[in-house]
Amino acid sequence: MGVHGKPVELRMEKLWDRNISLTTRLVDTVTTPMLLKVVRSGKLQPGKLVTHRFADIMKAYDTFGDASKHGALKVVLQNDRARQSG
């Protein structure tokens, strides 16, 4: 669900009969292999989660720091020089 800076409402009455499991945790070295496996299998397409792309790291941090204001889900840093030469 992501990291939230404010409370959210979770409507349990709409979820209880849908066989849904919720797990909370930050992505870390324990979960990274599982995440990569899901991406490789095609079950998760990370490109669909990207809402913003930046070459300027400070603009990226500012945008993701206030994600709800900017509608930022996943922010990608791009090296424009590497892309132009490749």
CA distance 52 to 73: 8
Domain ranges of the chain: 12-85
CA distance 49 to 71: 11
Rg (CA), the chain: 16
Question: What is the DSSP code string of 46-70?
Answer: GGGGEEEEES-HHHHHHHHHTHHHH
pTM of the model: 0.55
3-class secondary-structure state, position 23: coil
pLDDT tens across 8-59, in order? Answer: 788 888 888 888 887 777 767 888 898 899 999 999 898 898 999 999 999 9
